[in-house]
């Protein structure tokens, strides 16, 4: 190796695939984290000193203070399609490029959202716990009778790429009637391709047999499903959240599930995760998974490689593959 060649320094904030770290090492001096220590803000800020680039995941918050303490930083590549851990206006003001990992996780995440919805509807977790507890001693006509998925009305809140993937699965695979609500309506041709009809939010809540949340988190979306919204849903309906914690008021949802104001829920994301609201741990009619919707081996590897590709492109004089704020940087990095 030519030791005279300048190699930018890069932080990899969490443990990731060794082969992806090895790829980064071909180009950069890499400060990685194989022990997977969770850096607090002060430690993340300190570790970023002298780094031109950073590889982050959804739990690593990068805000104005972190950026101000590291004026040499040029790019932060998030291994996630969601980027609510980034203060994007602060990135723009600091002239730091942000990237995410769209597309590579769409189908895997849609698979999981559909599976979680089905598990909630057909009471899979609840009945499995019953069996494991040794309580299965007879057949019963109404044993864990749930609600059908095929032919039911699928409601989708947030109709981006993943929402469209779930709509396709529902309409084409399960003969579901698909309705959706999104800030902006999809072009007619896209609606037709996924067999979905736009409705207002109140209609979505009222008509969905199975409501799936796939919208990005923003302060405006905070608790956009809370007690008042849950009260508008059918008592037989299910709610599935694969979007972000904070979109649902988890405390209100725990009450609605306990009081059977809705039938069941499937949750992959939680307010304040990895902590989970104790009320949710206490009710049987909810399927709980630890934020794994994108977690197939192939997809997580593709996400990590895309984040690495962004770092390599930008720090070797090229262009980011999946930039979030290109053209909005107010100061040249």
Residues in contact with ligand 8YV by CB under 6 A are 57-58, 79-82, 105, 294
Helical pair 18-25 and 297-315, crossing angle rounded to 10 deg:
10
Does the active-site annotation cover 291?
yes
Give ∠ CA 196-198-203 in degrees, rounded to 5. 115
Nearer to ligand 8YV, 76 or 80 (CB): 80
Query: Active site residue: 126, 191, 271, 273, which one?
Result: 273
In the complex, what is the shortest distance from the CB of residue 119 to ligand 8YV, in angstroms, rounded to a whole number? 19
Q: Which residue is nearest to ligand 8YV (CB)?
A: 58
Q: In this complex, which beta carbon is closest to ligand 8YV, that of residue 105 or of residue 256?
A: 105
Q: What is the DSSP string of 92-160?
A: HHHT-EEE---STTHHHHHHHHHHHHHHHHTTHHHHHHHHHTT---S--TTTT-----TTSEEEEES-S
In the complex, minimum distance from the CB of residue 99 to ligand 8YV, in angstroms, rounded to a whole number: 12
The single residue of 23, 47, 169, 244 carrying the catalytic annotation is 244
Smaller CB distance to ligand 8YV: residue 205 or 267? 267
Q: What angle do CA 260, 267, 147 make, to 5 degrees?
A: 50
Number of residues that this document lists for the chain: 333
Of 23, 24, 76, the C-alpha closest to 48 is 76
SS3 241: strand
Q: Which helix (H) or strand (E) holds 25?
A: helix 18-25
CB 108, min distance to ligand 8YV, A: 9
Least distance from ligand 8YV to the Cβ atom of residue 203, Å: 28
Closest Cα to residue 147, out of 167, 128, 126, 123?
A: 123
Q: What's the closest the beta carbon of residue 312 comes to ligand 8YV, in angstroms? A: 19
DSSP 185: P
Give Cα 263 to chain centroid, integer Å: 24
Q: Measured from the CB atom, is 7 or 161 closer to ligand 8YV?
A: 161
In the complex, the smallest distance separating the C-beta of residue 148 from ligand 8YV, rounded to whole angstroms, is: 29
To the query of whether residue 220 is one of the catalytic residues in this protein, the response is no
Residue entry with tokens 């022990």: 35
Which residues, other chains included, contact 182 with Cβ-Cβ below 8 Å and sequence gap of 6+? 157, 158, 159, 160, 163, 198, 215
* 3-state SS class at 56: strand
Is 277 part of the annotated catalytic residue set? no
- What region does 325 belong to: left with phi over 0, alpha with psi -120 to 50, or beta? alpha
Smaller CB separation from ligand 8YV, 16 or 237: 16
Q: Which is nearer to ligand 8YV, 109 or 283 (CB)?
A: 109
Query: What residues are labeled active site?
Result: 244, 273, 291
């Amino acid at each position: 190796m030519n030791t005279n060649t300048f190699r930018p320094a890069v932080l990899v904030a969490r443990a990731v695939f060794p082969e992806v770290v090895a790829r980064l090492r071909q180009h950069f001096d890499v400060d990685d984290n194989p022990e997977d220590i969770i850096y607090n803000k002060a430690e993340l800020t300190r570790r970023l000193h002298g780094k031109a680039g950073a590889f982050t995941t959804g739990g690593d918050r990068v805000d104005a203070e972190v950026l101000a303490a590291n004026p040499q930083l040029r790019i932060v590549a998030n291994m996630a399609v969601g980027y609510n851990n980034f203060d994007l206006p602060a990135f723009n003001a600091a002239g730091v490029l942000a990237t995410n990992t769209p597309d590579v996780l769409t189908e895997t995440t849609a698979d999981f959202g559909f599976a979680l919805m089905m598990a909630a509807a057909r009471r899979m977790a609840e009945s499995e716990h019953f069996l494991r507890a040794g309580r299965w001693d007879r057949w019963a006509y109404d044993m864990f009778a749930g609600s059908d998925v095929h032919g039911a009305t699928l409601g989708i809140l947030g109709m981006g790429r993943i929402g469209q993937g779930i709509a396709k699965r529902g309409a084409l695979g399960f003969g579901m009637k698909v309705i959706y609500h999104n800030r902006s309506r999809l072009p007619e041709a896209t609606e037709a391709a996924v067999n979905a009809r736009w409705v207002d939010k109140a209609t979505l809540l009222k008509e969905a047999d199975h409501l799936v949340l796939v919208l990005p988190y923003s302060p405006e979306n905070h608790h956009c499903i809370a007690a008042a919204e849950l009260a508008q849903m059918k008592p037989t309906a299910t709610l599935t959240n694969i979007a972000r914690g904070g979109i649902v008021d988890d405390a209100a949802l725990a009450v609605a599930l306990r009081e059977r104001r809705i039938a069941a829920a499937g949750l992959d994301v939680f307010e304040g995760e990895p902590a989970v609201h104790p009320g949710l741990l206490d009710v049987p009619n909810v399927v709980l998974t630890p934020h794994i919707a994108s977690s197939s081996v192939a997809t997580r590897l593709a996400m990590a490689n895309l984040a690495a590709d962004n770092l390599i492109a930008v720090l070797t004089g090229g262009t980011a593959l999946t930039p979030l704020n290109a053209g909005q940087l107010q100061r040249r990095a």
